[in-house]
Structure 1
Amino acid sequence: QELIQLLGGTLLLSDAPDALRLALLDTMIPVEVHSDEDVFVKGEIGAWMCFILAGEVEVIQERHGHRVSTDSHIGRGAFIGDVSVFGITKRRCCTARATADCKLLVLCRSDLEAAAERHGWPDSLAVLRDSATNRRLMADPESFIRLGCFQGLDTELVSTLHRVSVPFLAYPGQVLMREQEFGETMCILLGGLIRIEREGVLVVELASGVAIGEVAVLGPDRKRTATVRCQRTCLLRSLHADVFHEILDRFQSDDAMKAAASHAESSVASSRTA
């Protein structure tokens, strides 16, 4: 019963019926990982995810040839690897490393799909049933090229930004950005619905095809100007400021490109979505 409640406390399975949670528990494999061991490594093929019962894990991205923690001290009740288990990507987009001895429950994609088909997909996860469509959506660089914040930039540059951005999923109620906090990433919303709030008041709801947090990447001010909260399950790609500027410098081979980049930065800074 404690484990069922733990699963129910996650954003992933918060609206799942107990029958589904119990069925998933029956298929999960307990695994122990020692401190400083990798749970999975970027580039590996994986069709499973895990829930953390005890211990802590950090998520690591490669930046400038160095391993940089992007989400540290993920502990009991959290989960990692959901992008792979839902078939959004075939290979891991990051490395997950234990920072303490961990007890994990591993869930395979085939077991998740079988249990959900038998007991019903939760409303929040129904959009993730069609893994092939979602995988194509995540892999499509046109979603970047068409964005207003990249207007004026070379299409090859934007395609490169798409390749180095990181796909991830977010769930109803999850806060992507908080007002007044400092941030170094922007996100491209490819599917789902988000809520923009200022001082706790709804400003607007936005659907797919928008950039959020772009001021932190393209503008001079790293402070978030709004809170961004998921209303529905969202498919996104994130882009770190350092990565963006490194690639921008690589492509700025003439004055025209620099002028286009400057225009993009000023237009985004004036929009200030978060």
Structure 2
Amino acid sequence: SRFGIRVSIKLNNRKILSGIAEIIGEAEKITDITVAIDKLDKIGLEKVNEELASKGIPQKAIEQLQPIILLQGTNEEKLNTLKTVLKDSETGIQGVNELEYILNKLKIVGIRCELELDLTLARGLNYYTGAIIEVKALDVQIGSITGGGRYDNLTGIFGLSGVSGVGISFGADRIFDVLNQLDLYPKDSIQNTQVLFVNFGEKEEAHILPLILKMRQEGISTEIFPESAKMKKQMSYADSNKIPYVAIVGENEINENKITLKDMTSGEQKSLTLEECISILS
């Protein structure tokens, strides 16, 4: 929300998926079914049905799946349909009740974006036991940027049974891609170097490094040019990187324990103590 990315939250439940597989008589094929229908928005219904057939799921079962896969309407309408479709599956009805519980609680607290009950949402089913969540960016063609769900037995494989949890992970690289594609990356999110120390050589470096340390300790982003290049090259580097101040410490400044601070915008130069520099830069 703060980045300005418009999203839709997709919600489903593992128990509903298990219930669907159960009522079409293919409970043991739950993974094959969900892996296939999870691809609906990527490959289309025809290809999904072909994949289901290739996994040995009979045509009758595939036909029974169609109205479930293509279920339309509001979240409440979808839940009401599922209550009818899954009435003979105890597991499926439990999943419907869990989703209804979440949706009812969200009505109380409110939500800032679109929330859609999506029966094609499957994710990694090996450890999810309840709710499944995915967040999709609406304005770009990209996979989910956030996802997770409920798992009751995951800690058991590490020797700690009986501990349930809900986990959500954020796809930092995908969010970064979305920000760049939509030109939303905050321009001021990276604090650029505030002051560049000119490098005259090893003697001056030895004097400057402790000054840089003190400036950084005061929260001032500071760097020194990596070699004793010509002054023009160092000034050009500061200019092209939009560094607002250049600090000059030569032999005279070392003797006087001063820093010549140049404002790269106005061109004004002042001879200052370290403390005065810190005061101006912070």
| TM-score > 0.5 by shorter chain | no
Task: Please tell me the TM-score bracket, short chain as reference.
Answer: under 0.3
User: Which structure has the highest strand share of the two?
Assistant: 1
User: Which structure has the highest helix share of the two?
Assistant: 2
TM-score normalised by structure 1 residue count: 0.26
The higher radius of gyration belongs to 2
